Structure 1
Amino acid sequence: MNADTADPTSGAEPAEHRPEESGARRRTLIGAVITLLLAAGGITYGVLTTSDEPETKPVPTAAVTYEVRGSGTVKIDFIAHGKHAKSLTLSGTELPWRMDVKVAVGTEPTVRIVLDGNGGDAGCALAVRGKHVQRSTATGAYGRATCSAPLPAAQNGSDNTSENSETP
């Protein structure tokens, strides 16, 4: 049978006699492909831009100053709670010593001192937002002193907000 003639039993016309039906199918197919490509692109964008890490929120901080003064050689332990809490120990430190850090609000900054076996006299001091809040004194061989204070939020709004609190 010739492709140019219609089959009288099928009731169908040859393909070249149905251009509008062929064009409609082609448009439908192209539209479906475009829709799939757009959906795939959107999903890929969403996957690539999604981070596995939760968003970090700014940590409100306040300025804290640790000080140790006196005579002798001391071991100094100090705690600074920034974005990640840190406790640092400095052994054989000569005096005077001072450290300024940003500490997370709501924590308790602390400094501890221990004199060596030769003794001496040493004192620690803790200042929060520029105001001294505690002092303590150690004397004699292996004398000890601790200074700590709670760190509440500022009442006058002077706290800094920092994502990366400075801790030595």
Structure 2
Amino acid sequence: MLIAGVALLACFGLVAYGILDTDDQPKQQAVPTPTAEVTYEVTGTGTVEISYLARGEAGAATVERGVRLPWTKSVQMPLGKAPSVAITLDGKGGQASCTLAIRDKHVQRATAVGAFGRATCTGDAQVEKG
């Protein structure tokens, strides 16, 4: 009975400590990472494989295969990261162009031509100077 009483008292003590925690230190909150809107666009003829970066992938590329054109994707990218989109035409060839815009401002355009033609558009999502 004595052991049960001590255990119960210890439980109450832990609960009271959790409720009455008087730590004068402010709780640290996660600071959100500033981002910029990035728009990837692929136009042209043929079927392509598209590889692009987006915030949620922690730097890994997202790959979409067998894409019929046109194709557009808008994502949020952390500032200081380099957004990119790469396209590869299939064996039947064709012609496709990728474009990259950051905050609705055109950054780069590249064109792929022919069987397994490739093109890559990259940019830099920087803090706006103003």
Same fold, judged at TM 0.5 (above): yes
Q: State the secondary structure of the residue aligned to 1:43.
A: helix
Number of residue pairs the alignment of both structures matches: 115
State the Cα deviation string for residues 127-146 of structure 1 (Å, max 9, x = none): 00001100100000000000
Contact 2:107–2:123 (CA under 8 A) maintained in structure 1:
yes
Q: Which residue of 2 aligns with 1:163?
A: none
Contact 1:83–1:104 (CA under 8 A) maintained in structure 2:
no
Bigger proportion of residues as strand: 2
C-alpha separation in 2, matches of 1:86 and 1:130:
24
Displacement of 1:81 after TM fit?
3.0
Q: Which residue of 2 aligns with 1:153?
A: 127
Q: TM-score, normalised by structure 1?
A: 0.61
Q: Max radius of gyration: which structure?
A: 1
Q: State the secondary structure of the residue aligned to 2:34.
A: strand
Displacement of 1:83 after TM fit?
8.0
Q: Which runs of 5+ in 2 are unaligned?
A: 1-11, 22-27
The percentage of counterpart residues that share the same residue type is 43
Q: 1:79 to 1:46 in 2, by over 3 A?
A: farther
Which of 117, 142, 160 is matched with 2:116 structurally?
142
Q: TM-score, normalised by structure 2?
A: 0.78
C-alpha separation in 2, matches of 1:66 and 1:140:
21
In the TM superposition, structure 1's runs of 4+ consecutive aligned residues that sit over 6 Å from their partners are none
C-alpha separation in 2, matches of 1:85 and 1:45:
40
Q: Which residue of 1 aligns with 2:7?
A: none
Q: Does 1:66 pair with 2:27? A: no
C-alpha root-mean-square deviation of aligned residues, in Å? 2.5
